[in-house]
């Protein structure tokens, strides 16, 4: 039997209040439930939501990254449509976010061209950008934004996802953004068995940009 909006809101509340209810639900499962409920609600109003960003990282590699922010690319609706659906289950608009207790929802885009996976969450389905895209975006950000935190996340993802990656897809995306060399450097670090901190990541960045011969940092983030 199809769940009613009230049923979906009750599932969302249980995920948000798992600690209070003394339910032993890992954070990643709570996040996935919340994402799937939101996706289902939007789907019922003609919109297609895909989880991207930090939420996708946590879903693929729990422990690498923990977040209470859900970023979706939502196709097929206006901001007013989004606002109406999210407000109907208790979210309130704060700037670019919709907020419900400690859960933050942001919609950074309205067109999805990247490949996705569809995962089952309870009786619901959730579209998630492919893990190769998530990893590639961290590697690209590491090289071109010179953000060592992205490098650290990429290293952790490489270690967790080793053996399950589509190397062709990953390399194609990196090649398009001139970041395949950063991937090779991070792969070597990931397989070195040594502790990698910010100094080591800074050294990799220095080597990458000396080889490139240019400073390609944008003027603003």
pLDDT digits (tens, 9 = 90+) for 8-65: 999 999 999 887 655 688 999 999 999 999 999 999 999 999 999 999 999 999 988 8
Is residue 131 within 8 A of residue 45, CB to CB? The reply is: no
Q: Does pTM surpass 0.95?
A: no
For residue 12, give every residue at least 6 positions away whose Cβ sits within 8 Å of its Cβ, in sequence order, or none.
33, 34, 37, 38, 89, 100
CA distance 87 to 84: 5
Domains and CATH numbers, the chain: 5-129 (3.30.460), 132-212 (no CATH)
How many other CB atoms are found less than 10 A from the CB of residue 77? 19
β-sheet bridge partners, residue 119 = 126
CA distance 75 to 118: 16
**Per-residue pLDDT at 68 exceeds 70:** yes
């Amino acid at each position: 039997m199809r769940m009613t909006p009230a049923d979906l809101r009750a599932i969302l509340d249980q995920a948000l209040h798992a600690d209070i209810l003394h339910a032993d639900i890992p954070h990643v499962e709570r996040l996935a439930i919340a994402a799937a409920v939101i996706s289902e609600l939007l789907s019922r109003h003609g919109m297609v939501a895909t989880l991207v960003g930090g939420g996708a990282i946590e879903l693929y590699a729990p422990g690498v990254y923990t977040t209470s922010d859900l970023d979706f690319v939502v196709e097929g609706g206006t901001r007013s449509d989004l606002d109406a659906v999210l407000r109907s289950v208790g979210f309130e608009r704060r700037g670019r976010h919709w907020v419900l207790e400690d859960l933050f929802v942001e919609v950074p885009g309205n067109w999805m061209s990247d490949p996705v996976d569809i995962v089952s969450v309870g009786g619901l389905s959730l579209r998630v950008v492919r893990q190769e895209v998530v990893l590639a975006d961290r590697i690209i950000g590491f090289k071109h934004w010179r953000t060592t935190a992205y490098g650290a996340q990429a290293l952790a993802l490489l270690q967790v996802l080793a053996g399950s990656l589509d190397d062709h897809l990953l390399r194609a995306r990196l090649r398009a953004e001139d970041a395949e060399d950063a991937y090779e450097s991070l792969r070597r670090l990931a397989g070195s068995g040594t502790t990698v901190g910010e100094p080591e990541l800074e050294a990799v960045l220095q080597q990458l940009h000396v080889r490139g011969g240019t400073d390609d940092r944008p003027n603003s983030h």
